[in-house]
Structure 1
Amino acid sequence: MLLNANDVTVRYAGRLALEAFSLDLGPGEIVALIGPNGSGKSTALHTLSGLTIPNAGDVTLDGRPVRTWKRRQLARRLSFLPQAPLSPEGMTVEQLVRHGRFAHIGLLGAYSAQDREAVDWALESTDLGGLAGRDLRALSGGERQRAWIAAALAQEAGILLLDEPTSFLDIGHQVEVLELLCRLRRERQVTVVVAIHDLNQAMAVADRVVLLAKGRTLFSGAADDLAESGLIETTFAVNGAFERPRGQARAVYFNAHITT
């Protein structure tokens, strides 16, 4: 496997944040992490990225513990976009995206034609070409989120870890980001792990869905199997049903029944 978490447990100030979390990731698949607030989704991503050292268990990349990788080497393989990152003052969109190339630039800091091509591709893929010269602080929340996604793409890592990447985006750009992830999986064999709140989006794009609650893994498998398990209803304490639109083979959609 490419990236592997084996029985990872994380505690913060004595509080259990993640318990015996395991996940094997191969090239070219999308895994969605879902669950209520505080379920451990962000902790799982931080641990997979090597930013959080687990109290028990380990995370390995190509069989080697992630915590032993040098940051520049790891950045060439793995890109992590946290939830609501802080935007540096006085930085433009293009400057932020260029920072995504830091792992590829040599000791002399030379910026190559390949770096320029990667930045242009990332800006174009996130529909930000026209905003490249704008100050990050002058952007809307959705535009700023797309800028951070572009910076992650410019890194050209084979593994993308994304924490709520569609937050703050309007529905049109949410769809564009999800389609982009599917295209990266299909055309570049990029592996994606995404924490996401929208159940419909998770079920539509993910090859596997992992359902977390209170730090524990309740389910890991195909979206169709999760839809039939009844765990969505009990975990989120809602009444509802999954429906498959006519002509669609994979996507299943959850319709909650709201009593008024």
Structure 2
Amino acid sequence: MPLSCTHLTVLYGRRKALDGFSLAMEKGEIRALIGPNGSGKSTALQALAGLIVPSGGQSEIEGVAVASMSRRAIARKLAFLPQQPTAPNEMTVAQLVRQGRFPHVGLFRSYDKKDEEAIEWALESTGLTELAGRTLQELSGGERQRAWISAALAQEASILLLDEPTSFLDIGYQVEVLDLVHRLSRERGVTIVMAIHDINQAIAVSDRISLLEKGGLRFDGEPEALAKAGLIESIFRVKGNFVEVAPGKPPHFDVELTKLTRPDA
């Protein structure tokens, strides 16, 4: 099992940001973490990656406790992409992706053939080979996000954690990034956990969904089962219905929008 955790609990002062969170991932699985703001999605990702020391429970990579692994050992297995990663605008795509090899190269070893092949594979997998010489400031939002994912892939990590990978992107770029996530899972066997706001995107691209509320796990299962659980309306405080788009396709959550009228209208 590439990634799992049992009863992860994270305290911020007296507040439980994460309360007994558990999951078990299969190779190549896409898991979506959904929930309102402050529900614990980002905290769960950081705890899985060993970036936060939990108050209880533990996460494991291939059966080994993350807490017992060095940062370099973790980076060889797992790549974490935060919501808004930063790098100098004048850095090129190729330079950014090369940084992804640091867990393998370190400070004293030069890049060898295997490293160069990994970099070329990461660029090719994300469709960025022809953009390798461009600076980050020359890229569109979708291209920049793909560049960061490419850097994560250059680590040759078999596990990819993404925190809101489609935030701040136009719909076309969102589709572009989600298509890449799906291809990495299906074609490369990368195991992916991503926190995501859009419920319908989560349903469309993921194999399983974990729904969090106030740090607690309220649902864990296949997207189709979420439609029957009756939790979306109560947890997100919206009115709506799951509708069938086409036979054999995941349901779509249709939100009922309330028309607002100005007081002076």
One fold, TM greater than 0.5? yes
> What is the CA distance between 1:108 and its match in structure 2?
4.1
Residue aligning to 1:186: 186
Question: What pairs up with 1:207-226 in 2 under 5 angstroms?
Answer: 207-226=207-226
Give the counterpart letter for 1:230 in structure 2.
Answer: G
> Tell me, which stretches of 5 or more residues in structure 2 are unaligned?
260-265
Q: Is 1:253 the counterpart of 2:252 in the alignment?
A: yes
Query: Which amino acid letter does the alignment assign opposite residue 47 of structure 2?
Result: T
Q: Which moved more, 1:140-149 or 1:198-207?
A: 140-149
Alignment-derived partner of residue 165 in structure 1: 165
User: Are the aligned partners of 1:31 and 1:206 in contact in 2 as well (CA < 8 Å)?
Assistant: yes
Partners of 1:87 and 1:137 within 8 A in 2: no
**Offset of residue 119 of structure 1:** 2.1
Deviations 1:193-245 (A, max 9, x none): 01011111100111110000111111000111111111011111111111222
Q: Deviations over 1:100-155 (max 9, x none)?
A: 11123267422233322332332333343343223334544443322211111222
Pairwise mapping of residues 1-260 of structure 1 onto structure 2 (< 5 A)? 1-88=1-88, 90-105=90-105, 108-247=108-247, 249-260=248-259
Gaps of 5+ in 1: none
Say which is worse superposed, 69-78 or 219-228, in terms of deviation: 69-78
Deviation digits for residues 167-193 of structure 1 (CA, Å, limit 9, x no counterpart): 233323322222222222222221110
Q: Percent identity?
A: 58
Shift of 1:44: 0.2
SS of 1:51 mapped into structure 2: coil
Moved more, 238-247 or 49-58: 238-247
Inter-partner Cα distance in structure 1 for 2:64 and 2:188 = 23
2 CA distance for matches of 1:190 and 1:71? 20
Paired residues in the alignment total 259
Amino acid at match of 1:259: T
Q: Which amino acid aligns with 1:59?
A: S
Asked if the contact 2:123/2:132 (under 8 Å) is kept, the reply is yes
State the Cα RMSD in Å. Answer: 1.9
Give me the whole-angstrom Cα distance separating, in 2, the residues matched to 1:198 and 1:178.
12
- Check the 8 A contact 1:32/1:193 in 2, yes or no: yes
- Name the TM-score, length of structure 1 as normaliser: 0.92
Give the TM-score, by structure 2 length. 0.90
SS in 2 for 1:103: helix
